[in-house]
Amino acid sequence: MPKLIDCVAAVSFDLDGTIIDTAPDLGAAANMMLVMLGGRPLPDDRIPALVGAGIDEFVKRVLAQSGVTPDARLQETSATLFRDLYEQRVFRLSRIYPGVMMTLHTLRAAGLTLCCVTNKERKFAQPLLEIAGISGFFASVLCPERPEDRKPSPSLLYAACRQAEIEPLDMLLVGDSRADIEAAHAAGCRVVAVDYGYHRGQPLEELRPDAIVSNLKEIMELSVRPRSGTRALRAIP
Ligand SMILES: O=C(O)COP(=O)(O)O
Ligand SMILES: [Mg+2]
């Protein structure tokens, strides 16, 4: 069976929970926010399950976990405060996951186009990749400009395919969450899930990714059954 990596022209990586463990800095900023609002900090191990649907939702979940049901005004004040705090600390405690650097080097050397496809706002994603020293690997970084473009919408993946000038079937997405797998399926891309990210206890097998790995470098060894029939030339809207 051919190797998966030989069947694609580009690889898109999810950011939080896939290439960088961002929960420590997200948690630090969230806890500073709670304390400044007069609340109590959350235990670190409660943070990862709250990540994945953008900052407004993360702040809403943090407030809910601390026992607050915010009205619209408190939600807005909290989200603004959180953004200010997080902006100052996107890569202080966060760490690149094992196997990521080697995988990015190997895939790039193999001639594949690499993209980052994240629900994180560009204002945080771009500096995070730069400070972490990995922004140079990515031909493009796709972030949602509108809430409706967030994964599980396929729109960021379509944009990545358009920029790489490839069809969705020639794109592999590597991600840690339900939103990643559903976005890839909706776009018609191949998808590999990592089992170490922020998938909130969701059994990833049920979502039927092409494969599940525990370290990114395993994607180099994965084999795939070629898709049968004519290649699905799905038009990118
Ligand atoms: O910022 C988030 O909520 C999630 O970002 P991700 O898509 O890179 O996991
Ligand atoms: Mg993620």
Say if ligand 1 is within 6 A of residue 54 CB: yes
Structure tokens at 40: 């109590």
Say which residues have a Cβ less than 8 Å from residue 229's Cβ, sequence separation at least 6. Answer: none
| 16 catalytic residue (yes or no) | no
CB 114 within 8 A of CB 138: yes
pLDDT in tens, 86-131: 999 999 999 999 999 999 999 999 999 999 999 999 999 999 999 9
DSSP assignment string, 59-105: HHHHHHHTT----HHHHHHHHHHHHHHHHT-TTSS-EEPTTHHHHHH
pLDDT at 225: 72
CB 221 within 8 A of CB 6: no
Say if ligand 1 is within 6 A of residue 168 CB: no
What value does the mean pLDDT of the chain take?
A: 93
pLDDT at 236: 66
Q: Which of 13, 16, 142 to mutate to test the pocket of ligand 1 (most atoms within 8 A of CB)?
A: 16
Percentage of the chain beyond pLDDT 70 is 95
User: In the predicted model, is pLDDT for residue 228 greater than 90?
Assistant: no
Ligand number with the minimum distance to the CA of 18: 2
Per-residue exposure over 50-61, b if at least 16 CB sit within 10 Å of its own CB, e if not: bbbbbbbbbbbb
Enter the pTM of the model. Answer: 0.93
Measured from the Cβ of residue 103, the count of other Cβ atoms closer than 10 Å reads 24
pLDDT at 206: 94
* C-alpha–C-alpha distance, residues 183 and 153, integer Å: 5
Say if ligand 1 is within 6 A of residue 68 CB: no
DSSP state of 18: T
Residue with CA at minimum distance from ligand 1 atom 9: 16
pLDDT at 226: 64
Q: Which of 84, 88, 74 is CA-nearest to residue 66?
A: 74
* C-alpha–C-alpha distance, residues 85 and 98, integer Å: 27
Q: What is the mean pLDDT of residues 10-29?
A: 98
pLDDT at 44: 94
User: In the predicted model, is pLDDT for residue 232 greater than 80?
Assistant: no
pLDDT in tens, 58-83: 999 999 999 988 899 999 999 999 99
Structure tokens at 140: 């493009």
pLDDT at 231: 46
Taking CA atoms, 118 is separated from 64, 141, 144, 166, 214, in Å, by 24, 8, 8, 19, 20
Q: Which of 182, 174, 176 is CA-nearest to residue 218?
A: 174
* C-alpha–C-alpha distance, residues 73 and 173, integer Å: 37
**Residue 228 Cα, ligand 1 centroid: separation in angstroms?**
33
- pLDDT confidence tier of residue 227, bands split at 50, 70 and 90: low
**Residue 53 Cα, ligand 1 centroid: separation in angstroms?**
6
pLDDT in tens, 121-164: 999 999 999 999 999 999 999 999 999 999 999 999 999 999 99
User: In the predicted model, is pLDDT for residue 205 greater than 60?
Assistant: yes
- The full set of domains in the chain, from first to last, is 4-22+95-221 (3.40.50.1000), 23-87 (1.10.150)
Say if ligand 1 is within 6 A of residue 51 CB: yes
pLDDT at 140: 97
- pLDDT confidence tier of residue 199, bands split at 50, 70 and 90: confident
**Residue 47 Cα, ligand 1 centroid: separation in angstroms?**
13
pLDDT at 69: 84
Amino acid at 137: F
Q: What is the 3-state secondary structure (H, E, C) of 165-192?
A: CCCHHHEEEEECCHHHHHHHHHHCCEEE
